[in-house]
Amino acid sequence: MGNRNKSIQLFRIFGIRVGVDFSWFVILFLAIFWLSGVFKTILGGQDTTAYLTAVATALLFFGSLLAHELGHALVARRNGIGVPSIDLWMLGGMARMERDAETPGEEFKISIAGPIVSLLVAIICLAIAAAVASPHEAIAAAQLKGTVTVSPAFLALSFVATMNIVIFIFNLIPAWPLDGGRIARAIAWKATGSQTRATIISARLGRGFAWILAAAGLFEILNGSLTGLWWLMLAFFIGQAARGAIVQSQMTRRLAGRTVMDLMDRHPVSLPADTDVVRADEEWFTRYGWSWFPVVDDLGRFMGIAKEEAVREAALLPGAGEPQTVRDVMDRGSVNEWSVEETASIESVLESQGLGHNGALMAVDETGVLMGVITVEQVRAALRERAG
């Protein structure tokens, strides 16, 4: 019961968890390896300097990707949408939001924020670089061609600026799930008045763009360029995401008018916050065999999630002072990520990332009291019922 976050946490910024997927380390290594070889040529064979510049450049570039996602996250927060985490992986980054935008205006502002940040990063890097070198040197360094007399810092800034311009342009392509695709959805949503229809329009554009990328990738491979493999990976990711958006939109139509209250399990097994960890391990985790339980206070209000590994670790520690309770070891930051109002529509639950990410959501009333649990399996069963 439950789904674990597979990313590795690096740090928190503005209260948002920043994590990286294992694939991010692979791309970081490849980026440093490739850049160090290119920089060695540009800097006239200075091995150590080229390597250190490559490391700094790669980290600056991934820092700019994080800034891009923070742009989305901070604008989402200003519009009342919680953002528990940002994950970086081999194809970029993703800000995980607790719910989808409720209006076309919200969707547009959140979607455009990332590209705007990328453009600002590029402008800042170019401004600093232009202050210390000539335009000719800047262009040569940005193209990573030939040997030019520039400083390592200037070389790094030129590359990061160029890549952020590429990211800005690429992300404005109107194809789901790119930022441009979400902007297109906002426009179509405003024009049609239907978020579902707008999602399908944007997703179809995404599938078309995926085929174009795939064709370009195959062309590059046939011409002996390994860059084509990267285009094929992007095409697969965009195509799958677009297909998923279409399927989800069809699911939304089937469940129109139904609420969390209609589907939820009204008798959830919860864990009182003041339960001793040893008792919790024996009477809850061992008995039911689940990996987590919702934690409630004396009034039945949902407080967070108690995970098996945290409770069991505390239960196995030798006693020192007062015995530990579930309250001491539960995940306190999980309330918003794991809960939904019982009166919320199933459409809104499907459009949020919480249900798919966690496998279940806690249904609460207006005072936060735990009223039930809705799981992915229950939603799937309702879909099968409607489809039949």
Alpha-carbon distances of 72 from 96, 102, 117, rounded to whole Å: 10, 15, 9
Q: What is the pLDDT along the chain (388 residues), one digit of tens a residue?
A: 333 346 788 899 988 999 998 888 888 898 899 888 888 887 776 778 889 999 999 999 999 999 999 999 999 999 988 888 899 988 788 888 877 888 999 999 999 999 999 999 999 988 887 776 666 665 555 555 554 566 788 888 888 998 999 999 999 999 998 999 999 999 999 999 888 889 999 999 999 999 999 999 999 999 888 788 888 988 998 989 888 888 777 766 666 667 888 888 888 899 999 999 999 999 999 988 888 999 999 999 999 999 999 898 888 876 555 678 999 899 876 677 788 889 887 767 766 666 777 788 899 999 999 999 998 888 777 766 655 5
Q: Which CATH number fits domain 260-387: 3.10.580.10, 3.30.360.10, 3.40.220.10, 3.30.1490.20?
A: 3.10.580.10
Burial (CB count <10 Å: 0-12, 13-18, 19+), residue 122: buried
Number of H helices and E strands in the chain, helices first, is: 17, 10
Query: Residue 338's closest CA among 304, 366, 308?
Result: 304
DSSP 47-73: HHHHHHHHHHHHHHHHHHHHHHHHHHH
DSSP 207-241: HHHHHHHHHHHHHHHHTT-THHHHHHHHHHHHHHH
Domain ranges of the chain: 1-172, 182-254, 260-387
